[in-house]
Structure 1
Amino acid sequence: MRSRWRPVVASLAGLAVALSGCAGTRDAAAPAPDRTATRPASDQTATPARKPARKTPAPPSPDSAIPTDPSRLADALTGATDGLRRATDDWLRDGDPAKGTPPEPMVLLALRQQRIYRYLVRNPKVASRTFALLPKALAGPAKDNVKAGRGLLSLVRPISGAAKFRVRPPEPADALLAHFRRAERRFGVEWEVLAAVMFVETKFGRVRSPSYTGAKGPMQFMPGTWAAYGMGGDILDTGDAMLAAANYLHASGAPRDYRRALFAYNHSTAYVDAVLLHARQMRRDIRNYYGYYNWQVFVVTTHGDRRLTGP
């Protein structure tokens, strides 16, 4: 079995994760414009008047203030989630998730959403009042995301003093998705579970530092466990690490018993709950995967949070 550990990156990726409040499932489609315009009775040849194009709101700045009032928080979370979903649809339709980077509005909306969830995780009473004001389709996912974040926060040990962390941009979103699905085909472990593990462990590979116990790579393997399940691959290679993680989870009980398998991966019920909650969000709507993909790495310190990646 894998050694028990609580990696430093859990305070980076994991907390961010939970906070990984993710995208809700509210339909973000803009209201459909009128299909036709009525012509004046006196002039059947007149050109129909056109409505002015809807202006896209400017994306929030990276450090814009987070409201503290439940009503304003609910509006802010709804707006960020809806905007992020629209931006995701645009990127999937017009961009290149297999090779390119997400557009700036998408990155900024995801960061806004993440920071709101981080606030809700730390303020349970405000969170409860905020949930009651959210649209029904968003309230359930928001509760799950805050629950996941609160559990991961309980595992974090704030950092004091100087500390160095290696971070880098993640591989393209659809390149990662191809790794997840390849591992799913080979070992039968759902790609959403693998994605959620990577999300919690290293924020989709953004964190490159080993844990304080020596766990390495994008899926944070201990060297001894890697020797048993790495199948001769490179612990730092994303594709190899994904196959090894699926191999280990399958040997530990997945897909028959994900809770058992994930507990073997990290001996914490809070960790298990968080991974399964995030996996459920991605299973419900793949756009939640792309939203999580744009969450950034935060370090929890004794002097407050510090963001290491992103704008």
Structure 2
Amino acid sequence: MVDAAYVAAELGGVEQGIRLPDTPAQEYLSLGRRQQSAYHLLAAHPDWIPAVLNALPASVRSAVQANISAAQQIDDLNGASAALPHWRIIAPPAPDVLLGYYSEAQQADGIAWQYLAAINLIETNMGRIQGLSSAGAQGPMQFMPATWASYGRGDVNNPHDAILAAGRYLQAHGAPSNMTRAIYAYNPSMLYVRAVQLYAQQMFVSERAFLAYYNWEVYVQTKTGEVLLPEGFSG
């Protein structure tokens, strides 16, 4: 039976498994998908949230609360689409490749890699989404053409080039000393800022949180319900 008790047990086990130092790398595909599925159940049944939080082990309660809150910020920011977007869903670079790009940007501009990963997650699910945003932003880090002209070097659709450009942009707008200001410049919404900070904080607490987020799939909230866009989708 799928109810609050089920979700609490599922999230408790999954969130603990994500953070165990001896969890094999190959387990994170399953852990990430189960984690995402559990949070989607809570989004569909927000009345379950108090009971779920009360039933969780104390060691993961704050992480679950943070992930719930981050998802709520993004849902409030994006709203529901009238139709499916004109995107292609592709395989992202491997996790160690992305971590290398984030680390290179961190070394170049002083931006903690966790913030870059959180932005990459929110913008395109770590590069799975290929296509324009509703505002015309493009690439895995979603740059507007004029912004890319100022901060980009190379190809806006290349994950390495886009991540390094994001580091330059954030540094030019106050990072790393004022991350709130820098993230707000990236997307001028406090809902967005809060979501980035919440996801980044989970990766500061445990770098293994990245491996779970990396495996989250692309879902779109439409006016008729939530739709999974699997790898290979072309709209």
What range describes the TM-score normalised by the shorter chain of this pair? over 0.9
Match of 2:179 among 258, 265, 270: 258
Match of 2:108 in 1: 186
- 8 Å Cα contact 1:160/1:302 also seen in 2: yes
Structure 2 residue 6 is the aligned partner of structure 1 residue 72? yes
Compute the RMSD of aligned alpha carbons: 1.9
- Tell me how far apart the structure 1 counterparts of residues 21 and 174 of structure 2 sit (CA, whole Å): 37
> What stretches of structure 1 of length at least 5 have no aligned partner?
1-64, 92-102
What TM-score does the superposition give when structure 1 sets the normalisation length? 0.70
Identity over aligned pairs, percent: 36
Q: Which amino acid aligns with 2:184?
A: F
Instruction: Verify: 1:303 aligned to 2:193, yes or no.
Output: no
Contact 2:105 2:167 in 1 (8 A): yes
Q: Is the 8 A contact 2:89 2:231 kept in 1?
A: no
Alignment equivalent of 1:239, drawn from 160, 171, 194: 160
| Greater length-normalized contact order (CA 8 Å, ≥ 6 residues apart) | 1
Q: Pick the aligned partner of 1:147 from 64, 69, 93.
A: 69
The separation in 2 between residues aligned to 1:264 and 1:164, in whole angstroms, is 26
One-letter identity of the residue aligned with 1:80: V
Query: Structure 1, residues 185-219: CA drift from partner, whole Å, max 9, x if none?
Result: 00001100011000100010000011122101000
Could you tell me which residue of structure 1 aligns to residue 206 of structure 2? 285
Code of the aligned partner of 2:24: D
In structure 2, runs of 5+ residues without a counterpart are: none
Counterpart of 1:158 in structure 2 is 80
Distance 1:180 1:163 in 2: 28
What residue is the counterpart of 1:89 in the other structure? 23
- 1:81 positional shift: 2.8
Q: Which among 121, 124, 146 is matched to residue 224 of structure 1? A: 146
SS of the aligned residue for 2:89 comes to: coil
**8 Å contact kept, 1:87–1:106:** no
The structure carrying a bigger helix percent of its residues is 2
Give the counterpart of 2:32 among 101, 110, 135. 110
Determine the structure 1 residue equivalent to 2:122: 200
Match of 1:128 in 2: 50
Whole-Å separation in 2 of the counterparts to 1:124 and 1:291: 22
Could you give the per-residue CA deviations for residues 72-108 of structure 1, whole angstroms, max 9, x where no partner exists? 22111112334445697312xxxxxxxxxxx4x5323
What displacement does 1:71 show?
Answer: 2.1
Partners of 1:280 and 1:302 lie apart in 2 by 31
SS of structure 2 residue aligned to 1:128: helix
How far the C-alpha of 1:161 sits from its partner, in A, is 3.8
Match of 2:67, as an amino acid? N
Cα–Cα, structure 1 residues 106 and 190, in superposed 2: closer, same or farther, change >3 Å?
closer
Structure 2 CA distance, aligned partners of 1:262 and 1:240? 19
Q: 1:248 aligns with which of 142, 149, 169?
A: 169
Distance 1:88 1:118, change over 3 A: farther
Q: For 2:11, what is the secondary structure of its paired residue?
A: helix
User: Given that residues 88 and 106 in structure 1 are in contact (C-alpha distance below 8 angstroms), is that contact kept between their aligned partners in structure 2?
Assistant: no
Rg bigger for which structure? 1
The size of the alignment, in residue pairs, is 232
Structure 2 CA distance for partners of 1:122 and 1:258, relative to 1, 3 Å: farther
User: Which residue number in structure 2 is paired with residue 274 of structure 1?
Assistant: 195
Q: CA contact under 8 A between 2:217 and 2:230: conserved in structure 1?
A: yes
Q: Could you tell me how far apart the structure 1 residues matched to 2:226 and 2:30 are?
A: 18
Q: TM-score, normalised by structure 2?
A: 0.92
Please give the secondary structure, in 1, of the residue aligned with 2:227: strand
Query: For 1:142 and 1:251, how far apart are their aligned partners in 2?
Result: 33
Query: Which letter does structure 1 place at the counterpart of 2:172?
Result: A
Contact 1:160–1:301 under 8 Å retained in 2: yes
What CA distance in whole angstroms lies between the structure 2 residues aligned with 1:281 and 1:223?
31
